[in-house]
Amino acid sequence: MRTRLRTLRVGERTCTWLATIGQVAGDGVDVHRCIRVRVWGAGKNGRALEADLLSKAMSVGWTPAATDGSYPAAADVRRLVEHALTLGWDPAAVGGTFRLTEDHGLELPGFLITDRVRDPRAPDPTARVIRAFETAASELDRH
């Protein structure tokens, strides 16, 4: 598969980003789509921004990842960049990676940030997806 770098503008900054599709296991037998997003805001030697996005899609079957077609849009990546900048990400710093984690509290319309890819003890992705789905459903019921 070919790697495709994309670009977007955030303020005066041009960012290059890459999204890699993968999956993350829940505590049971379920597997969810997870997309690792890496963003460079000052060239390939600058400090990269990285976030593992857990799809909120409620696909059918034991392995939701098999039927999930979720993929971040440029607007999602822009929100990641803006949030990271407010947290102190310095894209011009040489080397290293700035990681957005669950503790940063950012939620995108179709994704949650997950730590489960790097830490098997992180909260169960299935429970988090179900909770997000129920929250969205209750919001719709109120309106």
Q: DSSP string covering 37-83, please?
A: EEEESS-TTBPEEEEEEEE----SSS-GGGT------HHHHHHHHHH
Return d(Cα 14, Cα 43) in angstroms, integer. 9
78 neighbors 8 (Cβ within 8 angstroms): yes
- Output the pLDDT for position 55: 92
Cα–Cα dist 21/33, whole Å? 7
pLDDT the model gives residue 79: 96
**Token duo for residue 69:** 């077609």
- Tens of pLDDT, residue by residue, the chain (143 residues): 456 889 999 988 899 999 999 999 888 878 889 999 999 998 889 999 999 999 988 766 656 667 788 899 999 999 999 999 999 999 999 999 999 999 998 999 999 999 999 999 999 998 898 888 888 777 777 76
Q: Which residues pair with 15 in a beta bridge?
A: 8
Burial of 110 (0-12, 13-18, 19+ CB in 10 A): middle
- Does this model's pTM top 0.85? yes
State how far the Cα of 44 lies from the Cα of 80, in Å rounded to an integer.
18
Among candidate residues 60, 81, 70, 77, the one with its CA nearest the CA of residue 13:
81
- Residue-level pLDDT at 14: 92
* DSSP structure class, residue 127: H
Single-letter residue type at 79: R
